[in-house]
C-alpha cells in the first residue's frame, strides 16, 4: 500500500513486517474544548487509513494519546496552557475539563464511525515515563536547564528540520501574538521538555521532578507514549499537517536522541479543513462541531462522506452548500443500495466482481484515493453482477469507507415496510385503482385518485421497485 510519506516527500510503500503486524501512532486531541470538524477530518482520514491497512490484511496496533497537559496556545513554547484556559473558561478543574472533552471526543468519533484505537493514553498517566526520558536526555547532553526549565538542544542534531518546508520563522507565531520570546533558549528552535518555572504560577497540574515541581512539554508526551506501547521502532505516525512542525519535528528529534537510530520511517499528514473565512480553530471560540451538524439535521456520516469525496492531501473548504450536495448524494447512494435488495436473483459474474475488487484496492492503495474508491462503489451498482455479489462487495468496501451503507439501506427498507403495513384499507383500495388507471393510461383518473389519496393524508410515489405509499 502506497502513501505519501512526508519524511521522504514521496509516494511509497508503507514498510511492513513478515509477521503482518503494524504499529500506528496518532496524535490525539487536546481536550480543552469540543473537537471541531476540522480536527475530525484528520481523525476520519486516519481511521480510513487504519481500516484500509486492515483490509490489506495487516494486523494494526493503533495508539493515541490524549493531551491533557502541556500544550500551550502557541505550538512554540509560548502562550497559555490550553487546558488551564479551558478550565478557567468553564470554572472547573483541569481534570474535570479533560474528562468531559475526552468523552465528548469519543462520542463524536462514534457518530462518525471512527474506531477507537486499541490504546488510548492520557498524558497525565505517564509523568514518570516523561521524567525518565528527560533525565536520559540530560545525561546524554541533548538537554539543558535554563531559567528553571529543561530544553532540548536542537544544535546537537545533525539534521533538525526533517520535513523541509519549515523554518525558524514558523516558531514566531506566538511572538507575533504579543507573547514574549523565551530568552532562555540557546537556539531559536530549542523546545521545552519540562516546565518548572513558567510564567503560569497558577498552573493547576504539577508534579515533582529532579528539576523541581513542574509539568511536561507537549512533544515529549507523544514520543514516550508511542515508545511505551510500540517500542523503539514505530511503523507509521499520523497527524494533521499543522503537527508536522514543530510538534512532529520535535518528537523525532527527542525520540532519535533517546534511542540512537531512526524511530519511524513513515509519516502521514492530513491537510486542513478550512472555512471560507480561513483556518478553523478551537481557540477562536465559535466553531463547527458534530453537534451543530446534527442540530441542522445532518447525519454525521454525511460529513464523513463529504471528507471521503476529496483527497486527504488537499485543503478542503467547508461550506453548507457543499455539505448539502454531499447529503443529497449520500441519500441517493443509500436509496440505490436499498433498491438492490429487490433485484431479481441472477447468476452474476465472478470475473466482474474480481475486477471491481481490484479497482477498489488500487484506489485505496494509491495514496488513499477515497474519491476514486467511492466511484468504484457507483460502478458496482451499475455492474452486471448478482444482487448477492453487489451486497457482499458493498459490505467489504464499506469496511474501509465506514459509511454504514448497509445499515442505512436496511433501515430505509424497514421504514418503508413499516409505512406500507400501516396503510389503511381505504387508501390501499385507491392506490390499487390508481395503479389500474395508469396501466390503462387513464392519467386524468390516476391524478384524481392521487388527490383523493392525498386528502386522506397519504402520498404515492413511483419508484424502481413499483408504487410506494407514504404517510405525509
Q: Which residues bind ligand AMP (CB under 6 A)?
A: 27, 29-30, 38-39, 41-42, 67, 239-240, 242-243, 270, 272-273, 279-280
What is the DSSP code string of 129-177? Answer: HHHHHHHHHHHTTSEEEETTEEEE-GGGSS---TTSS--GGGGGHHHHT
- Judged by CB under 5 A, how many residues of this single chain contact Zn ion? 2
Nearer to ligand AMP, 78 or 243 (CB): 243
Q: Contacts with Zn ion in 15-34 (CB under 5 A)?
A: 27
Q: In the bound complex, what is the minimum distance in angstroms from residue 191's beta carbon to Zn ion?
A: 13
**CB count in 10 Å sphere of residue 306:** 25
3-state SS of 374-404? HHHHHHHHHCCCCHHHHHHHHHHHHHHHCCC
Nearer to ligand AMP, 25 or 152 (CB): 25
**Taking CB positions, which residue lies at the least distance from ligand AMP?**
240
* SS3 call for 122: strand
For the stretch 462-465, contacts whose Cβ atoms lie closer than 8 Å and that sit 24 or more positions apart, written own/partner, are 463/339, 464/339, 464/342, 465/339, 465/342
Binders in 331-370 for Zn ion, by CB under 5 A: none
Task: Count other C-beta atoms under 10 Å from residue 370's C-beta.
Answer: 24
111 versus 272: smaller Cβ distance to ligand AMP: 272
Nearest distance from residue 58's CB to Zn ion, in Å?
Answer: 22
Q: How far is the CB of 246 from ligand AMP (least distance, A)?
A: 12
Look at residues 24, 73, 75 and name the one whose alpha carbon lies nearest to residue 248: 75
Nearer to ligand AMP, 30 or 255 (CB): 30
Residue 266 binding target from ligand AMP, Zn ion, none, CB below 5 to 8 Å by type: none
Q: Kindly tell me which of 108 and 398 has the beta carbon lying closer to ligand AMP.
A: 108
Task: Choose the one of Zn ion, ligand AMP, none that binds residue 39, judging by a C-beta under 5 to 8 angstroms depending on kind.
Answer: ligand AMP
Residue where the block lists cell 487546558: 83
Nearer to Zn ion, 258 or 469 (CB): 258
Give the distance from CA 91 to its chain's centroid: 30
Q: Phi first, then psi: what are they for 231, rounded to 5°? A: 75, -165
Minimum distance, C-beta of residue 118 to Zn ion, in the bound complex (Å): 17
Grid cell in block for residue 7: 519524511
Site track for Zn ion across 127-146, x = CB under 5 A: --------------------
Instruction: For the beta carbon of residue 84, count every other beta carbon within 10 angstroms.
Output: 19
Least gap, CB of 263 to Zn ion (angstroms): 13
Residue 60 contact partner, candidates Zn ion, ligand AMP, none, CB within 5 to 8 A by sort of partner: none
Binding mask 199-238 for Zn ion (x = CB under 5 A): -----------------------x----------------
For residues 95 and 40, what is the distance between their CA atoms, to the nearest angstrom? 23
Give the residues lining the site for Zn ion (CB under 5 A). 27, 222
Amino acid at each position: 500500500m502506497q502513501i505519501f510519506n512526508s519524511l521522504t516527500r514521496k509516494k511509497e510503500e508503507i514498510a511492513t513486517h513478515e509477521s503482518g503486524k503494524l504499529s500506528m501512532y496518532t496524535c490525539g486531541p487536546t481536550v480543552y474544548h469540543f473537537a471541531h470538524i476540522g480536527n475530525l477530518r484528520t481523525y476520519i482520514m486516519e481511521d480510513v487509513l487504519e481500516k484500509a491497512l486492515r483490509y490489506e490484511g495487516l494486523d494494526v496496533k493503533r495508539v493515541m494519546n490524549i493531551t491533557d497537559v502541556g500544550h500551550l496556545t502557541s505550538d512554540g513554547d509560548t502562550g497559555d496552557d490550553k487546558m488551564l484556559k479551558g478550565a478557567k473558561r468553564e470554572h472547573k478543574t483541569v481534570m474535570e475539563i479533560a474528562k468531559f472533552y475526552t468523552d465528548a471526543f469519543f462520542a463524536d468519533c462514534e457518530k462518525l464511525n471512527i474506531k477507537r484505537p486499541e490504546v488510548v493514553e492520557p498524558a497525565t498517566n505517564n509523568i514518570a515515563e516523561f521524567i525518565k526520558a528527560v533525565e536520559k536526555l540530560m545525561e546524554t547532553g541533548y538537554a539543558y536547564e535554563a531559567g528553571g526549565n529543561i530544553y532540548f538542544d536542537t544544535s546537537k542534531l545533525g539534521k533538525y528540520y526533517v520535513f523541509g518546508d519549515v523554518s525558524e520563522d514558523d516558531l514566531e507565531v506566538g511572538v507575533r501574538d504579543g507573547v514574549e520570546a523565551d530568552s532562555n533558549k540557546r537556539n531559536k528552535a530549542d523546545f521545552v521538555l519540562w516546565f518548572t518555572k513558567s510564567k503560569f504560577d497558577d498552573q493547576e497540574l504539577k508534579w515533582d521532578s529532579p528539576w523541581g515541581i513542574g509539568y511536561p512539554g507537549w512533544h515529549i508526551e507523544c514520543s514516550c507514549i508511542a515508545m511505551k506501547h510500540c517500542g523503539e521502532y514505530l511503523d507509521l505516525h499520523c497527524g494533521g499537517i499543522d503537527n508536522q512542525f514543530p510538534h512532529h519535528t520535535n518528537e523525532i528529534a527527542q525520540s532519535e536522541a533517546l534511542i540512537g537510530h531512526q524511530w519511524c520511517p513513515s509519516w502521514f499528514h492530513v491537510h486542513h479543513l478550512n472555512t471560507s473565512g480561513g483556518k478553523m480553530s478551537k481557540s477562536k471560540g465559535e466553531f463547527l462541531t458534530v453537534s451543530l451538524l446534527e442540530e441542522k439535521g445532518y447525519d454525521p456520516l454525511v460529513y464523513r462522506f463529504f471528507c471521503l469525496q476529496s483527497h486527504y492531501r488537499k485543503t478542503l473548504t467547508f461550506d453548507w452548500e457543499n455539505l448539502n450536495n454531499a447529503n443529497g448524494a449520500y441519500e441517493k447512494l443509500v436509496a440505490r443500495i436499498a433498491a438492490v435488495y429487490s433485484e431479481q436473483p441472477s447468476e452474476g459474474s465472478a470475473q466482474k466482481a474480481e475486477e471491481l475488487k481490484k479497482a477498489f484496492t488500487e484506489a485505496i492503495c494509491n495514496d488513499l484515493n477515497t474519491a476514486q474508491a467511492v466511484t468504484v462503489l457507483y460502478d458496482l451498482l451499475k455492474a452486471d453482477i448478482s444482487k448477492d455479489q453487489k451486497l457482499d462487495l458493498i459490505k467489504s468496501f464499506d469496511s474501509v469507507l465506514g459509511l454504514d451503507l448497509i445499515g442505512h439501506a436496511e433501515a430505509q427498507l424497514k421504514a418503508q415496510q413499516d409505512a406500507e403495513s400501516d396503510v389503511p384499507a381505504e387508501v390501499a383500495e385507491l392506490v390499487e385503482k390508481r395503479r389500474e388507471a395508469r396501466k390503462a393510461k387513464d392519467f386524468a383518473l390516476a391524478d384524481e385518485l392521487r388527490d383523493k389519496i392525498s386528502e386522506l393524508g397519504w402520498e404515492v410515489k413511483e419508484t424502481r421497485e413499483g408504487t410506494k405509499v407514504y404517510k405525509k
